[in-house]
Amino acid sequence: MMTSKKMGIDFFSFGVKLTLGVALSLSFVSESSFANTKAPKTLTYALLTEPPNLDSSQATDSESFFIVGHTMAGLTRYDDKGNILPAVAEKWEINDKGATFYLRKDAKWSDGKPVQAQDFVFAWKRALDPKIASEYAFILYHIKNGEQINQGKLPLSQLGAVAKDPHTLVVTFEKPCGYFLGLTSFATYLPLREDFVTQKKDKYASSPENMLYNGPFKLTKWIHGASLRLEKNDKYWAQDQIQLDVIDIPYITPDANARFNLFKTQKIDLIQALSKESLANAQREKFKLKKFSDGTLFYMQFNFKKGRPTANKNLRLAIRSVINPTEFVSRVVSIPGTQVGVGLVPSWMKGNQQSFRKENPIPVPKQNLAAAKEYMAKARKELGQTTPISLVWLTGDTALAASEAEYFQNLFKTALGVDLKIDKQIFKQRLSKMRSGDFDIVSAGWGPDYADPMTFVDLFTSWNGNNHGAWFNDQYDKHVRNAMNSVDTKYRMTEMAAAEKIFMEEVPMIATYERTVMYTHSDRIEGVVRRVMGADPDFTNVRIKE
């Protein structure tokens, strides 16, 4: 998933808590369904940015996934150790040809109507409908005819997913898919109810009253750009296991110092990720700090669209040769545990027997200024440039995003003579500019959607709607499809490694670092789960200490 760039540590995506006074919880009682009962058990949180889209068939970013992950439930879910567990589906049967899911009969929508197999079929067809233009439609290509439907070559009725009866969902695979179960908890696989979505039309997911929920919480308040409020869903089948009454989000700010001060003054319960400045402040305050590697890979992605200078390979090689990744991580990111970005697949991802990175090593990039100048001279000649090359760097509006952009602006100017113009945008606008290709280089991040290297490797295929740089390579696509269409783990890893080799030779992007976050939370709460896959942080099992 696309992360809310520099999310938490000032940068896409995916912290914790301090004492929140009883008065803060009581201040919202008059607005709540708990008004005539005892004070609700409330956790207070601050988002980094406004969720761009809460329609599960169209959402692409970590902030939206955080809200969707707390208000919706899929066929399966991940536990706190990354294992797949039943959710709406109580059990299933799966083989190389397909899967049958048996849905629980006590799953209900927030209006009391049952969640049925047809709700999944409708949601998947909607995401694949070319008219919807979902950037995540590709994740449904494992279902028979999914890709052809998305390309407008077959009607929606031909999708290999049918409701055998209200509680039995039958899925036919396009090709064997060894990681399909891991996909079924992802947002694009969540159910949607046809009658409700059809009634709301373009207003669907625009406000709390224009949404339905089948998860542990429901969105009851959303003042765009300012605040959100989630309350316990009394129709959720496992409501007795949910101890929180309210997740209150009265603040939305990308400012790490502002979030630190909110936590320090006990106005929020959790700092999801500390910036290097607020980390130093937290250490001085002697806050209890925790470390979490969230699986996100950050990188600079080049634009290959016609007329963009970054489509020139020698220019990209020059930029890669001028970067000292160790210095960048140390001087700019400065968060303990952060690792240098090496390839397309991050170091933590499992391969065949060991990690994918150990089984398919890539030399750690090193700065080579002499080579950079040679590549640059070739690039200038090929581009016909007699004046300095000027590039636009699209980035976010956080302090770390600014530090990163300024670091590379200075480096490119002094070492390559390249003028880097910084285009700083709020998260929603940055996503819009990425999608329209309005950049030369974009600073971005990608978090895993499921526990397989494919979640990173297929990001740069020609069919992936998130391939905003428009780099296409037939051989790369071929290796990725070979890996997608096999259940032989060793063969799959070999094919993905071959794809990554092409990727490293062509340089469509340059990995900068693998994120680790330092976070802290209030002593009044326990049970916060940090996730590599799924909503992060996950407050579903949080308990308020009396």
pLDDT in tens, 343-388: 999 999 999 999 999 999 998 888 999 999 999 999 999 999 889 9
Mean per-residue pLDDT, 386-395: 94
CB 214 within 8 A of CB 72: yes
What is the predicted pLDDT for the residue at 533? 87
What is the predicted pLDDT for the residue at 4? 53
Residue pLDDT, tens place only, 11-23: 333 333 333 333 3
Mean per-residue pLDDT, 25-41: 50
Residue pLDDT, tens place only, 487-526: 999 999 999 999 999 999 999 999 999 999 999 999 999 9
What is the predicted pLDDT for the residue at 37? 52
By C-alpha distance, which of 240, 34, 218, 32 is closest to 110? 218
Q: Strand (E) positions, 327-486?
A: 339-340, 390-395, 419-424, 441-446
Question: What SS3 state is found at 313?
Answer: helix
Q: Could you tell me the domains of the chain? A: 22-72+207-292+518-544 (3.40.190.10), 76-199 (3.90.76.10), 295-516 (3.10.105.10)
Mean per-residue pLDDT, 297-319: 96
Strand partners, 513: 298, 340
pLDDT exceeds 80 at position 546:
no
Q: What percent of the chain has pLDDT over 70?
A: 93
pLDDT exceeds 70 at position 177:
yes
Distance (Å) of CA 409 to CA 272, 341, 509, 511? 29, 19, 17, 17
What is the predicted pLDDT for the residue at 79? 86
pTM score: 0.87
Residue 257 burial (C-beta neighbours within 10 Å; 0-12, 13-18, 19+): middle
Mean per-residue pLDDT, 435-439: 94
Tokens of 27: 């201040």
What is the predicted pLDDT for the residue at 34? 43
For residue 26, what is the enclosing H or E element? Answer: helix 22-26
Mean per-residue pLDDT, 401-406: 96
What is the predicted pLDDT for the residue at 139? 96
Q: For the packed helices 256-264 and 276-284, what is the interaxial angle rounded to 10 degrees?
A: 20
CB 329 within 8 A of CB 340: yes
**What is the C-alpha separation between 461 and 472, in angstroms, rounded?**
7
What's the chain's average pLDDT?
Answer: 92
CB 382 within 8 A of CB 314: yes
For residue 290, what is the enclosing H or E element? Answer: strand 290-302
For residue 164, what is the enclosing H or E element? Answer: strand 161-165
Q: What percent of the chain has pLDDT over 90?
A: 86
Distance (Å) of CA 442 to CA 71, 98, 126, 245, 298? 31, 38, 30, 40, 11
